[in-house]
Amino acid sequence: MQSKGLQYLYLQKCFKMIEINLHRVSGDFGFEAKDANGHTVHMDTSDESGGQNFGFRPMQMLLAGLGGCSAIDIVMILKKQRQTIEDFKIKITGEREPGKEPSLWANAKIIFILEGDIDKEKAARACELSMNKYCSVAETLKRSGTDLTWELVVN
């Protein structure tokens, strides 16, 4: 178990100013984003908009961030409860506002699929805490008007 001092230092590190650098590397719209640790992600626009299908669309990145953020929360919570997660998958679907510029996410549904020696009630509570209390991406989407729903499957 970490001491409170180590937890504080970890939180300071997590919430410091973030810098992301983008560089066009493929065609007109293919960009590589890189963080301070050297992690990279590719983004592009659709073929129909002149892209080359080089990577995620920027709006898809928001949904991927939702999945990653909530997954980390859920795993942390269930590990503290000594639940054994053997596999964890997430499926996210979303619809954007029709006929608007910019077109925000109108709704998104996230399905958490957990396998292992997991108490379903504990898993449901972990999902609920993530989506309604801890996940900053979920809160960001909600504040923009996105109707977020979730479902849990435990095998």
Q: Where are the domains of the chain?
A: 4-49, 58-154
Residue 4 clears pLDDT 90, i.e. is over it = no
Contact (CB, 8 A) for 45 and 78: no
Residues sharing a CB contact under 8 Å with residue 57, sequence separation 6 or more, in sequence order: 43, 44, 45, 46
Is the pLDDT higher at 137 or at 5?
137
What pLDDT, on a 0 to 100 scale, did the predictor assign at position 10?
Answer: 59
User: Measuring CA to CA, which residue among 91, 83, 154, 104 is closest to residue 124?
Assistant: 154
Residues sharing a CB contact under 8 Å with residue 27, sequence separation 6 or more, in sequence order: 44, 50, 51, 52, 54
Q: What is the CA radius of gyration of the chain?
A: 18
The proportion of the chain whose per-residue pLDDT surpasses 70, expressed as a percent, equals 90
Residue 44 clears pLDDT 80, i.e. is over it = yes
Q: pTM of the predicted model, to two decimals? A: 0.87
Contact (CB, 8 A) for 155 and 115: yes
Is 144 exposed, middle or buried (CB count within 10 Å of its CB: 0-12, 13-18, 19+)? exposed
Residue 151 clears pLDDT 70, i.e. is over it = yes
Tell me, letter by letter, the H, E, C secondary structure of 91-115: EEEEEECCCCCCCCEEEEEEEEEEE
Is the pLDDT higher at 13 or at 46?
46
Indicate the pLDDT class of residue 106, thresholds 50, 70 and 90: very high
Residue 9 clears pLDDT 60, i.e. is over it = no
Residue 84 clears pLDDT 80, i.e. is over it = yes
**What is the arithmetic mean of pLDDT over 9-24?**
77
| Architecture of the CATH domain 58-154 | 2-Layer Sandwich (3.30)
pLDDT digits (tens, 9 = 90+) for 24-37: 999 999 999 999 99
Using CA atoms, how far apart are residues 154 and 94, in angstroms rounded to an integer? 22
- In degrees rounded to 5, what are phi and psi of residue 129? -65, -40
